[in-house]
Amino acid sequence: GNSVTQMEGPVTLSEEAFLTINCTYTATGYPSLFWYVQYPGEGLQLLLKATKADDKGSNKGFEATYRKETTSFHLEKGSVQVSDSAVYFCALSDRETSGSRLTFGEGTQLTVNP
């Protein structure tokens, strides 16, 4: 079946530090990959996505590249801000095997200190 594994948190960084949150996946088909962000007390917001191998998703300074050879979709940001503090979820969807359903990773709590 499909699964997503994320780097364990929590992650604590100082403002302007470099961020990497690792994500690897297992899928039987050709999944689309996503990063979602959840701010305290809120639902999920799509941060970025990639639908095929070697695609790079980017948004608000965050980037992630779909690496089929390593089955990875690591999230990066060159300089984090306090406002980036949130929980980040890696997810996949495989329309061939699971339709529009999303499989989520465990989530990684990020705290950015001023």
Partner 1 sequence: GAVVSQHPSWVICKSGTSVKIECRSLDFQATTMFWYRQFPKQSLMLMATSNEGSKATYEQGVEKDKFLINHASLTLSTLTVTSAHPEDSSFYICSATGSTEGDSPLHFGNGTRLTVT
Residues found near partner 1 in the complex (CB under 8 A)? 32, 34, 36, 41-46, 49, 51, 89, 93, 95, 99-102, 104-107, 109
How far CA 70 is from CA of 25, 67, 78, 95, in Å, comes to: 9, 6, 22, 21
Query: Do residues 75 and 21 lie in contact, with contact meaning Cβ atoms separated by under 8 Å?
Result: yes
> From the CB of 29, what's the least distance to partner 1, in Å?
13
Residue from 3, 78, 91 nearest 47 by CA: 91
The nearer residue to partner 1, 62 or 89, going by C-beta atoms, is 89
The nearer residue to partner 1, 16 or 96, going by C-beta atoms, is 96
Nearest 10 degrees: CA dihedral of 36, 44, 9, 105?
-60
The nearer residue to partner 1, 45 or 79, going by C-beta atoms, is 45
> From the CB of 85, what's the least distance to partner 1, in Å?
15
Residue from 1, 5, 2 nearest 108 by CA: 5
> What's phi and psi for 76, nearest 5 deg?
-135, 150
> From the CB of 62, what's the least distance to partner 1, in Å?
16
The nearer residue to partner 1, 89 or 112, going by C-beta atoms, is 89
> From the CB of 71, what's the least distance to partner 1, in Å?
18
